A and B are shown apart, each in its own frame.
Chain A
Amino acid sequence: MISDRYNKYLLTTCIFFCFFTSIPISINMYYDEFGLFGLKHNIRLYHPEKSYKYLLSFKYIPDNFEGIIIGPSYSDNLDTRDIINFKIYNMSMDSANISEIKYAATNVITRGNIKFIIICLNPYITKDSCLKTTQIDPKDYWLSIFTFFPYIFNYSLKSKEMLHPELDPFHSSEWGYKDSNIWKHKIIFKDVIIKMRKEKSNKRWGINIDPIAYSDLKSIIDLAHNNNIRMLAYYYPLYYEFYGYFDISEWWRYKESMYKLFNEKDIVWDMNTSDYYYITKQESSYSDGHLSNRGAKLVVSVIEDKLNMCKDNL
C-alpha cells in the first residue's frame, strides 16, 4: 500500500512534467513564430529585429535560403526579392556590430546548406565589439521552445506595429528586408549634405578597428571557408562627398585589413570607385546617408550581376 502511494506520486509527477513541458512546446510549434520547428516557410519579422533574426537563424534561414547578406543598417534595406536567380535572406541588423551578427551568422553557416554569404563592409560593423543590447541572447533559443517568455516580450512590441501598419518597416520582411525609408521619406538629403559640410569639412574621419570585432569578422569568414561557402563582400557605396571626408590613409589601412581576411576565390569589390559613380554621385541614391529605395535597388542589381558572374562556382 505504501509503495502504491509512492508509485502514484512518481507517476503523477511524470504526467505533470510532460504536461508542463508539452503545453508551451505545442503552442510554440503551432505558431512557430521564429521558425524553430521548421513548420513555416514564410515568416515575417517584427521588432526587435536582432532577436527575430537571431532566432530565425537557427532553422528558418538555413532551411529556406541559398545565401545571406550580413551587415549593419547600411545593407538592411536591400530588398533581395529583386534578385531573380537566387533566394537570399537579408540578415543585416540595424545598429549591429559584427560581434552581434556573428551569433546569427554562425548558426546559418553551421546548420544549413547555404552557398554564399555577402558582407556589407562598412567601418561601422568593426568599430566596436560585444553585445550592444540584450536583444541577442543565446538563452532565447531554449526559452522560445520551452516557455512563452520571448513571445510575451515580442508580442508587446509586435502590437505597436500592428496598431500602426503604415509605420511598419517589416511589412514585407519574409526575406529579411527592412523598409527603413518608411521613416525617412521626409528627410531631404541635400540638407544632410549641407549639415555635413558644416560639421566635417575641416576634419578628416578616422577609422577605428576593434580587435575583437576584427577577430569576430575573421572567424565568420574562416568558418564559411571551412564549410565551402563562397564569400562575396562589397565596400558600402558612400556618397562621394562623404567618402572624401575620410582620412585616405586610414581608409587604405582599413581596406588592407579587410582584404587580408579573404582568399583568392572570394569576390571583393569596392563601390566607392568611379565605376559606381552612377550610385555614389546621385543624391537620389541616399536618404540620410543610408541608401534610398532607388540606391538600394542599384546596389542589389550590382550584387545580382556579381552572383551571376560566379553562378557556376557557387
Chain B
Amino acid sequence: MLFNSFDFLFIFAPVVLIVFFIVCSTGLNGIAIIWLILASLFYYGLWNPANICLVIGSILFNFALGKTLSNYENIILWKRVINKKALFVFGLTSNLLLLGYYKYANFFIDNVNIISGSSIHIEKIILPLAISFFTFQQITFLVDAYRGQTLKINFLNYCLFITFFPKLIAGPITYPREFFPQIIRRDVYKFNIENIAIGLTFFFIGLFKKVAIADNVSCYVTPVFNASEQNTLITFTAAWVGAIAYALQIYFDFSGYSDMAIGLGRMFGIQLPLNFHSPYKSINIIDFWRRWHITLSRFLRDYIYIPLGGNRKGDIRKNINIIITMLLGGLWHGAGWTFVLWGGLHGICLVINHMFRALRIKLGQDLNKPSLLGRGLSRAITFIIVTIGWVLFRADSFHGAYNIIQAMVGIHGVIVPNSLLGSLNNFYGLGDLFILKVGLDVKNIPLVGITDILIILILLLFVWFMPNTQQFLHRTISASEVYNLKIMPIKNKFLQFNYNIQNSMLLAIIIWICLLFLAILPKTEFIYNDF
C-alpha cells in the first residue's frame, strides 16, 4: 500500500488516525501506541508479511543491546564477560551484516565471479522494503546508547520509533533524541485540529508533487534512458531533457514523499525532521548536501565522516574522509558501480569545493556576499554537475550513462527537434545552425518537442525561484530543522500561507487534482522505496 493509493487515503490513514485518537481520549496512551505499532506493522507487512519477522527480530535485538549499552555501568556481569566497545561493535556489525546480506550479497558474488573468473551462484536475494532506513535508525539508537545519550525509554516507544508508518519506508531518518521527547509529551495524545489542518495541507502538497509532477515528468525520462541502454543514438536535446527531467522527477518524487511523511507525522502530533530544502537553489555542492536528503547527509556526517576523523586530522585526511563517506553514501543507494561512481563524483566535487573555498578565504574574499551574477553562475554550475550525477544514478549501466553523457556534451551532434527546427528556421534559417552533424541516422532517436522543453523549463523555473513547502508554510513550523535557521520566511506576502479562504480553495483544488491523477494514472512506487 502506497501513500499515493486510494486504499491508503480513504481507508488506512483515516482508520488509523480515528482509532488512535478515540483510544487516546480514553486515556489509554499505551494502547494507542500499541495500535500505532500494529497498524504500522500491518502497513509494512502488506508488501511481504514475512518481513514483519525481520523487523521485529531487528527491533528486539537492537533494543536489548541498546538497553545493555546504556545500563552497562550498572550491570557487573556484563563487565566481566565483554567490554562495552566490543559489545557496541558487535551490535553495529550485526546490523551492517544484515543490511549487507540483503543488499549487497548478489552484488558481491557477481564481482567476485568477474574478478576471479569463478562461477559461484546464489539465488537473487529480494531486498526487504525499508531495510536501509530502519537499520540506520537502529544504528543511531545504538550509537546514542553507547555514548550514553539515550533517554530512558520503554520497549513500546522504541518499537514506535522504528515502525512509525509515516517514516518507516523511506524516512526522514529520525534521531532518537528528536523522536522520543515528542512521544513522551502528553499533548501528542490529544486531538488537535491545528495538527490535522497543517498535516493535511502538507500531505496533499506532497501528494501533488508526486502524482501531478513527478509521475508525469517520468515520461520524458524512461524513453531516453532505455534508448541509451540499447545503443540508440541520443540527441543533444533529448539527452538534456531526459537528464533534467530525471533531476526534476527524483526531486518531486522524494520531496513529495517527505512532505507526505511530515504531514502524516504532524497529524499524529509528531514533528519529523526536514528532508529537502530547495536543493536546486544550491550555490555549490556543499550547499547541495545541506539541502538534499538532509537526514541522510546528516547521518553520513555524524556516523561516518566524523567517526572517521572528520576534519580534525588535517586537510588530506579530511578529503579522504569526504570521499570515503560519499562512496559509502553512493553504495547505500544501491548495489551497483554506477551508484558508487555517483557517490565518488559528489565526493570529488565536495573536495574541490572545500579546496576552492579555502583558497578564496586565503585570498581574502568574502564568501558570504556573492554577487548576483556570481550567485546565478554558481547555481547553474552546481545544477549541471548534479544533473550529470543523476545520469549515473539513474542509468542501468556505465554504458548507458556514458551514452547519455556523450550526447549531453554534444559528441553525437546537436540535433534540434523538427518542431523546434521549424520555428527556428522562421527566424532567418537559424535552425540550420544548430545541426552540427549532418547525415546521422535519425531513425529511432527519441526526439523531444518544443512543448516538452517548455514544460521542463517551467518546472525548472519553479524549483529555482519559488519557495518550497516549508517556506510556504513557514508559520506552521511543520518540520523540525536539521540545520538551524535554514528555513527563512518568504518576503512576498502573497506567497505566505495563511489559513484563510483563498488557501482552503487552493488546497481543495490540489486535492481534486491529486485524486484525478490517482484515478487516471497507473500507480507508481516512490523512487526511494527501492533503496
Known A-B contacts A20-B512, A142-B516; A2 and B194 likewise in contact (beta carbons under 8 Å):
yes
Docked pose: A138 CA to B519 CA in angstroms: 10
Q: Are A17 and B521 in contact (CB under 8 A)?
A: no
Report B500-531 CB contacts with A as 1/0, cut-off 8 Å: 11011101110110001001110000000000
Residue of B nearest to A12 (CB): B504
Q: Which residues does chain B contribute within 8 Å of A19, judged by CB atoms?
A: 508
**Chain B CB within 8 A of A9 CB:** yes
Q: Are A5 and B499 in contact (CB under 8 A)?
A: yes
* A interface residue numbers (CB < 8 A to B): 2-3, 5-10, 12-17, 19-21, 138-139, 142-143, 146-147
Q: Are A9 and B520 in contact (CB under 8 A)?
A: no
Residue of A nearest to B499 (CB): A9
Docked pose: A7 CA to B194 CA in angstroms: 8
**Chain A CB within 8 A of B193 CB:** yes
Q: Which residues does chain A contribute within 8 Å of B200, judged by CB atoms?
A: 10, 13
Q: Are A139 and B521 in contact (CB under 8 A)?
A: yes
Docked pose: A8 CA to B521 CA in angstroms: 32
**Chain A CB within 8 A of B196 CB:** yes
Q: Which residues does chain A contribute within 8 Å of B520, judged by CB atoms?
A: 138-139, 142-143
Docked pose: A15 CA to B507 CA in angstroms: 11
Contact of A147 among B503, B516, B521 (CB under 8 A): B516
Count of chain B residues with Cβ under 8 Å from any Cβ of A?
Answer: 21
Contact of B505 among A12, A138, A146 (CB under 8 A): A12
The 10 A-B pairs with the shortest beta carbon distances in the complex, nearest first, are A16-B508, A139-B520, A12-B504, A6-B197, A9-B499, A17-B508, A13-B504, A142-B519, A6-B193, A20-B512
Residue of B nearest to A142 (CB): B519
Q: Are B193 and A12 in contact (CB under 8 A)?
A: no
* B interface residue numbers (CB < 8 A to A): 192-194, 196-197, 200, 499-501, 503-505, 507-509, 511-512, 516, 519-521
Known A-B contacts A6-B196, A6-B197, A16-B508; A146 and B499 likewise in contact (beta carbons under 8 Å):
no
Docked pose: A8 CA to B500 CA in angstroms: 8
Sampled A-B contacts (16; CB under 8 Å): A3-B194, A6-B197, A6-B499, A7-B193, A9-B197, A10-B193, A10-B504, A13-B200, A13-B505, A13-B507, A14-B508, A20-B512, A139-B520, A139-B521, A146-B512, A146-B519
Known A-B contacts A142-B516, A146-B519; A16 and B197 likewise in contact (beta carbons under 8 Å):
no
Docked pose: A19 CA to B511 CA in angstroms: 12
How far does the Cβ of A54 sit from chain B's closest Cβ, in whole Å?
A: 14
Docked pose: A16 CA to B505 CA in angstroms: 6
Docked pose: A14 CA to B512 CA in angstroms: 11
Docked pose: A3 CA to B521 CA in angstroms: 36
Q: Which residues does chain B contribute within 8 Å of A15, judged by CB atoms?
A: 508
Docked pose: A76 CA to B520 CA in angstroms: 29
Docked pose: A146 CA to B520 CA in angstroms: 11
Q: Are A146 and B193 in contact (CB under 8 A)?
A: no
Docked pose: A7 CA to B505 CA in angstroms: 14
Docked pose: A6 CA to B507 CA in angstroms: 13
